[in-house]
Amino acid sequence: MGVVRVLAVSDAVSPIVYSQNFPANLPPFDVVLGAGDLPGHVLEFIATKTRTPPVYVIGNHGNAYLRGEDPEELRLPGGCINAHRRVVRVAGLLIAGLEGCARYRPGPHQYSQAAYQLMAAAMAPQLLWNRARYGRAVDVLLTHAAPVGPHAGTDWPHRGVAAFNRFHDLWRPQVHVHGHVHLSGANAPRRYLTPGGVRVINAYEFATFEVSVP
C-alpha cells in the first residue's frame, strides 16, 4: 500500500500557489488536480513547476482557455491533462473527470442533470476495465460542481449534481474533489464524509490531502 499526496486547486488564484516560491512553499505533493475555473495561464504555470502534469476539468466560466498565436484561436493549457469524460491514471491515481456545472442559463460547460447521468454512464467501460486491471475502478472523482449534499449551494447555479452521488454509489471513489462553491467564513466546511465513505473535498483556492493506493 502506498500514499499519493495531492494538491487540489480551483476557482480563486491563491498567492501561495501562484508564487515564485511554489512548490517549495507547500508540503511535498505528487500530483495537482484542478477542479475548474482557474485561468489557463495559472494551470500552465503549475505545469512548469511540477514533474507530473496537472489533471484538470473546466469550470462553468470556461476561463481555462488561452489565446493562441491567432487572436481568434482558443487553446487549452499546455502541459496539462483534461480529464473531462475520461478516466486517467496519473501518479498512480485513477482519476475520473466531469467538467462544468448544472445548467442555469444558455452557454457552454453547463449540463442538465440527465446529461451528467449519460456522461458518467459513458465512462463505465473504462471503469470496469480499471476494476479488472487494478482491482478498483477509480480513486478520485474530479468535477467542478459539487454533489448533492452539504457542499451544494443554496442558489440555483450552485445546486448539486445527483449523477455524482450515483457515481459514488456505483464506483466507490475514495475522494471526490470539486470546486464551484466558494468558501466564505471561518467555519466554512471544506471536507465531509458521505454515508458511503467517500471523502468530499472543496478545492476552493487550494487543499491538500492523501490517497492510499495498492
pLDDT digits (tens, 9 = 90+) for 126-183: 999 999 999 999 999 999 999 999 999 999 999 999 999 999 999 999 999 999 999 9
- Kindly tell me the number of DSSP H helices and DSSP E strands found in the chain: 4, 15
**What's the pLDDT score for residue 187?**
66
**What's the pLDDT score for residue 62?**
92
Quote the DSSP letter at residue 56. E
**What's the pLDDT score for residue 71?**
73
The beta-carbon contacts of 184-189 under 8 Å, at least 24 apart in sequence, are 189/150, 189/151
Asked if 8 and 209 touch (Cβ cutoff 8 Å), the reply is yes
**pLDDT tens track for 48-76:** 999 999 999 999 999 999 987 777 789 99
Q: How confident is the model at residue 8 (pLDDT cuts 50, 70, 90)?
A: very high
**What's the pLDDT score for residue 162?**
98
**What's the pLDDT score for residue 148?**
98
CA–CA dist 175, 181 (Å, integer):
17
**What's the pLDDT score for residue 73?**
87
At 96, give phi and psi (nearest 5°).
-105, 135
Map out the domains of the chain as residue ranges: 2-213
CA–CA dist 150, 99 (Å, integer):
20
Q: Report the sign of the C-alpha dihedral through residues 105, 150, 173, 211, in that order.
A: positive
Q: How confident is the model at residue 100 (pLDDT cuts 50, 70, 90)?
A: very high
Residues ≥6 apart with Cβ < 8 Å to 154 = none
C-alpha grid cell, residue 184: 466564505
Beta bridge partners of 123: none
**What's the pLDDT score for residue 186?**
61
Q: How confident is the model at residue 94 (pLDDT cuts 50, 70, 90)?
A: very high
**What's the pLDDT score for residue 145?**
98
Instruction: Evaluate if residue 80 carries a pLDDT over 70.
Output: yes
The position carrying cell 449534499 is: 149
Instruction: Evaluate if residue 192 carries a pLDDT over 80.
Output: yes
> In 3D, which of 109, 49, 37 has the Cα closest to residue 79?
49
Q: What is the pTM of this model?
A: 0.97
CA–CA dist 27, 29 (Å, integer):
6
147: preceding bond cis by omega (within 30 degrees): no
**What's the pLDDT score for residue 185?**
67
CA–CA dist 21, 3 (Å, integer):
25
CA–CA dist 95, 141 (Å, integer):
6
88-106: average pLDDT: 97
User: HSE (CB half, 13 Å, CA atoms) of 206?
Assistant: 20
> Which CATH number applies to 2-213?
3.60.21.10
| Mean pLDDT score across all residues of the chain | 96
